[in-house]
Amino acid sequence: MNPGQGTVLAFLLTLMSASVAHGQRIDSVRVFRELPAQAWTTSGAEATGWRLWRERASSVRATADDLAELNAVLGTLRPAKHHHARLPELSHLGFVYVGRALHVFCLVGDAERVIDLTARQEFAIADWTDRLKVRAWLLSMGL
């Protein structure tokens, strides 16, 4: 992973960090390379994430070393509660591993929202330049 990818990854996962207890470290993140074609909902996306995990589906992984910057800024953003909904614009699905807990997350709406499906929390990416950074990272990782 090149240095710019680590910065963007840190930004992306910082959005999810508020759902994790202060002081815990994000150990790794995995984003699945391919998703099945289906009508996405909150619960369907979470169930699919767990199924893909059990099947060891192809994914891109970033380790704790890649996440050092992220772990320095945990808890800086406040999440909004995510209510069960249809997710027609779901684009990416993956896992963040924190200590001993796995959280399924997804990107929705051209990287406008990151949803922690396990904790039922979401984080808005309001700034368009930050959304471009997320998309650039995804492209650089082959996603």
What are 101's two structure tokens?
């807990």
- What's the pLDDT score for residue 77? 54
Q: The pTM is what?
A: 0.76
The arithmetic mean of pLDDT across residues 3-26, rounded, is 54
Q: Where are the domains of the chain?
A: 3-140
Here the tokens at position 130 are 């930050």
Work out whether the CA dihedral 143, 62, 30, 137 comes out positive or negative. Answer: negative
Taking only the tens place, the pLDDT of each residue in 85-130 is 899 999 999 998 766 788 998 988 876 788 889 989 887 777 777 6
Q: For the residues 54-76, what does the mean pLDDT come to?
A: 68
